[in-house]
Amino acid sequence: MPGLQDGPAPESLDLFVPGRLCLFGEHSDWAGSMRKYNPDISHGLTLVVTTEQGLFATARRRDDRKLVLKTSAPGASSKSITLDLDDEDGLFELASEGSFWSYAAGTAYKLSVEWHVGGLELDNHRTTLPVKKGLSSSAAFCVLLARSFNRVYDLGLTVRGEMAVAYEGERLTPSQCGRMDQAVAFGRAPALMKYDGDFLKVESAALGCPLHLVLVDLRAGKDTVTILQGLQAAYPHPETAAHRRLLAALGAENVAEIRDRVLPAMARGDAAEIGRAMVAAQWRFDRAAGPLCPSQLGEAGSPVLHRVLAWPALQPLLLGGKGVGSQGDGTAQLLCRDAEAQRRVCDILSRDLQLECVPFTVPATGQLNGASAPNGTHA
């Protein structure tokens, strides 16, 4: 049987999977995939980096067909669960529920059906990645599970193969994620991801200066499912002017902004221009997406995000900022002038608004010290 091997299991396998931060182009991943239904839709383009925060875990092989999972993630419905890999109906049903463990169940279902893998114990003993904050914590768990099985059972999957398994597993849950989230499988270099129907191209992007970011947990909550339902109603065939405005914002306007403005600024190390592009991207998203999901997006639907972006004491310290991931009042990303400004931004937000901040610096590509980066690869 594929995936079941003779020989001793490894004593333990230590793994780390980070989160991902979308610098530019959120929502254009699933929007670009709609080209397979309507070729008039523009392809999608995102610029992403992986975070320093993530999921730390130890994986061990089991002699049975049980998947024993433990987690340290905050907000988990329980700290452990045991899944039966022979119970494919049960795995599918759990994936469909949309609970914390649904992501693991969906990924386990794909691995069981297509690879007939053996049992596994996976202990996610440390979690530094915030959950439900637009940093792909669910995708990180799916990739962690796919990578654990891949390495313990030597399935021969490439990084792109692990991404595919994780994506297909997450799509079995109510979360209608796009393919960008599985960028957590990559290394630290910025990755440019192009989405054209089912076609995915990934290439590394040059960064001539470090980006001193602060990720701000807005502590206000958002409903990603509602956001996706509101925006995806415009696809694949727009019926109103508001629908057409969204297609333009997530399509041609986004592509032009990233290709013609952001990438050249990154290459020459112009952090100020990158910051201005973030401000412009937020304005464009508010204008196009806000009316389609007013309870979650725009100034009315995400008041905490916009309050933080406009907080007076921060303005001398910032180059720009915008929402993260699916947007809404989940997480904000603020681009600071330098490392000292980054520290002061965290102090101000903690003192004035009692918000939790995570300083996050994206190193220049010349400072990666050989860290892995995605080359130009094709799905």
In angstroms, the CA 34 to CA 23 distance is 22
* CA distances for 34 relative to 29, 191, 234, 320, angstroms: 9, 21, 11, 31
> What contacts 241, CB < 8 A, 6 or more positions away?
none
Residue type at 158? T
What is the spatial order of strands in the sheet that 318-323 belongs to? 318-323, 331-336, 211-217, 356-362
Q: How many CA atoms lie within 13 A of 107 on its CB side?
A: 28
Omega cis (within 30) before 236 = yes
In angstroms, the CA 308 to CA 264 distance is 28
Residue type at 253? E
The vertex-198 CA angle with 115 and 290, nearest 5°, equals 115
Q: How many CB atoms lie within 10 A of CB 259?
A: 12
In angstroms, the CA 338 to CA 324 distance is 21
pLDDT at position 2 is: 44
pLDDT at position 368 is: 54
In angstroms, the CA 72 to CA 309 distance is 31
Q: Give the burial class of 225: count Cβ atoms within 10 A of its Cβ; 0-12 exposed, 13-18 middle, 19 or more buried.
A: middle
- CB under 8 A, 24+ apart: contacts of 155-164: 155/2, 155/3, 155/115, 155/117, 159/185, 159/186, 159/374, 160/185, 160/202, 160/377, 160/379, 164/379
In angstroms, the CA 193 to CA 278 distance is 18
Q: How far does Cα 228 stand from its chain's mean position? A: 14
In angstroms, the CA 352 to CA 247 distance is 38
Q: Give the burial class of 123: count Cβ atoms within 10 A of its Cβ; 0-12 exposed, 13-18 middle, 19 or more buried.
A: middle
Query: Per residue in 172-191, pLDDT tens?
Result: 998 766 677 666 666 667 99
pLDDT at position 360 is: 87
Residue type at 329? D
Pairing verdict, β 66-71 and 44-61: unpaired
pLDDT at position 19 is: 86
pLDDT at position 75 is: 73
In angstroms, the CA 153 to CA 307 distance is 49
281: nearest Cα among 22, 82, 51: 22
H-type alpha helices, 219-363: 224-232, 241-250, 252-257, 263-268, 271-289, 298-301, 303-309, 339-352
- Within 113-177, strands assigned E span 120-127
The vertex-309 CA angle with 265 and 229, nearest 5°, equals 90
* Token reading at 294: 């007013």
List the chain residues with pLDDT less than 50. Answer: 1-6, 9, 369-379
pLDDT at position 23 is: 95
pLDDT at position 200 is: 87
* Beta bridge pairs of residue 336: 212, 318
3-class SS at 166?
helix
pLDDT at position 5 is: 46
In angstroms, the CA 147 to CA 163 distance is 9
- Within the chain, strands assigned E span 13-24, 44-61, 66-71, 80-84, 120-127, 191-196, 199-204, 211-217, 318-323, 331-336, 356-362, 377-378
pLDDT at position 169 is: 93
